[in-house]
Amino acid sequence: MKETLDILFRLQKLDDEIDALEKEKATIPGDREEIDTKLEEMEQAIQKIKDESIGVAKLRDEKETDLKQMSEQINKFQGQLYQVKTNREYESLQHEIDALKEKSSKIEDTVLELLEKIEKISSTAAAEAKKLGQYRAEAEKDKADLEARDKELQDQIAIKHDERKRLVVNIDAALLARYERIRDNKAGMAVAVVQNGACGGCYRRIPPQETQELKMMERIITCEGCGRIIVWRDE
């Protein structure tokens, strides 16, 4: 029975190792997706900046077109000043010219503001593009590392499963089924080691007489608190 209990302990330890490897492997797709998501977000942010730049440049072109048209209109009205025959017509035409000049001045200010905005947007776009380039290089390396780790974990898991197959052939089928059932019901822990006089699974204190029986390792003892198989290991 001591040999059987030793095998059960080794099996639990091996299953814990397999679980840890599989848990780590399960995180890799999420890590890879997180990298891709960040890349996509950075690319979208840069595209948004580019779209804003295009919009501002278009507005600047429209304002410059308006300025050109106003300048032509002002020149036309100024030419007509010498053709009017009355002071009233002259004053009215001069009023139109002044109004156009005032409006034109405001548009010129707007154009300057738009030019400054375009310059700032271009600077921001260049900085973000540089960050994207740096992150893309890092991302490619990180993804390559993840692929390598995924392959490494797969190989380790396969080795552990082979080791498990060789181990379980030494366990009675009914006992193995019992072990698997407890594992399924107890978050993967079917075998608990005595720790400081208590069950390592639920921490129930183990009576002295039961402790002595565990040390003898002559029969399988289950914890009255959690139902796990409890084993003694020399500390």
The whole-number average pLDDT for the span 80-100 is 90
Locate CATH 1.10.287.1490 in the chain.
25-155
Q: What is the pLDDT of residue 84?
A: 83
Average pLDDT of the segment spanning 141-159: 97
Burial category of 201 from C-beta neighbours within 10 Å (exposed 0-12, middle 13-18, buried 19 and up): buried
List, in sequence order, every beta strand (DSSP E) within the chain: 191-195, 198-199, 221-222, 229-231
Judged against a pLDDT cut of 80, whether residue 137 lies above it is answered with yes
Residue given tokens 């209109």 in the structure block: 73
Residue-wise pLDDT tens digits, 159-186? 999 999 999 999 999 999 999 999 999 9
Q: Are 74 and 100 in contact (CB under 8 A)?
A: yes
Residue 177 neighbours by CB under 8 Å, 6+ apart: none
Average pLDDT over residues 107-128: 94
pLDDT surpassing 90 at residue 85 = no
Q: What is the C-alpha separation between 204 and 183, in angstroms, rounded?
A: 18
Cα 60 to Cα 232: distance, rounded to the nearest angstrom: 82
222's torsion region: left (phi>0), alpha (psi -120 to 50) or beta? Answer: beta
* 206-224 pLDDT per residue, tens: 999 998 999 998 899 999 9
Report the alpha-carbon distance of residue 129 to residue 52 in Å, rounded. Answer: 15
Four-way CATH pick for 25-155: 3.40.309.10, 1.20.1090.10, 3.40.50.11750, 1.10.287.1490: 1.10.287.1490
pLDDT digits (tens, 9 = 90+) for 50-71: 999 999 999 999 999 999 999 9
Q: Model confidence at 235, in pLDDT bands (50, 70, 90)?
A: low
pLDDT given at position 1: 86
Determine the pLDDT at residue 224.
92
- pTM (two decimals): 0.74
The pLDDT value recorded for residue 199 is 93
Q: What is the mean pLDDT of the chain?
A: 94
